Amino acid sequence: MDRSRVTRWAAPVAFLAAITILALVVRAGLESGKQHRASTSTTTVTSKRKHGHHPKQPALRTYTVQTGDTLSVIASKTGTTVAILLKLNPHIDPQALQVGQKIRVQ
């Protein structure tokens, strides 16, 4: 192939590649900012009520894992510690939290 022909195509292709990469980076940044603002903690309060004269049990509180959450972030958001979260949730893998996963926080 002739060198001038390669040069004629290389510049527009490189320009389009740079614009595409820039658009992807900007889009990822915007989505990250949107998720950061929208990632308010979701706390669900449920209570187990038994019939009869049993003393009241404390309500169970759960937290729904959001994007970017770690156990320390969740502990901070919910006013507890990582150790308590691990004790309440022995089945979870702290290194592999899933978005949407519900964990006990109380």
Give the chain's domain count.
2
Digit-by-digit pLDDT tens for the chain (106 residues) are 677 777 778 878 888 888 888 888 887 777 666 555 555 556 665 555 555 555 665 667 899 999 999 999 999 999 999 999 999 999 998 888 999 999 998 8
18/4 same-domain check: yes
12/64 same-domain check: no
44/94 same-domain check: yes
Position 50 scores a pLDDT of 57
Position 43 scores a pLDDT of 60
27/61 same-domain check: no
| CATH code of residue 99 | 3.10.350.10
> Biggest alpha carbon distance in the chain?
92
31/64 same-domain check: no
Q: Which long-range contacts (CB under 8 A, 24 or more apart) does 94-97 make?
A: 94/70, 97/65, 97/69, 97/70, 97/71
- Helix, strand, coil shares of the chain as percentages rounded to 5? 50, 10, 40
Tell me which residue range forms the domain holding 15. Answer: 1-38
69/20 same-domain check: no
Position 83 scores a pLDDT of 93
46/79 same-domain check: yes
Position 100 scores a pLDDT of 92
Dihedral of CA atoms 69, 105, 38, 20 in degrees, nearest 10, equals: 20
Position 85 scores a pLDDT of 92
Position 48 scores a pLDDT of 58
Say whether pTM exceeds 0.75.
Answer: no
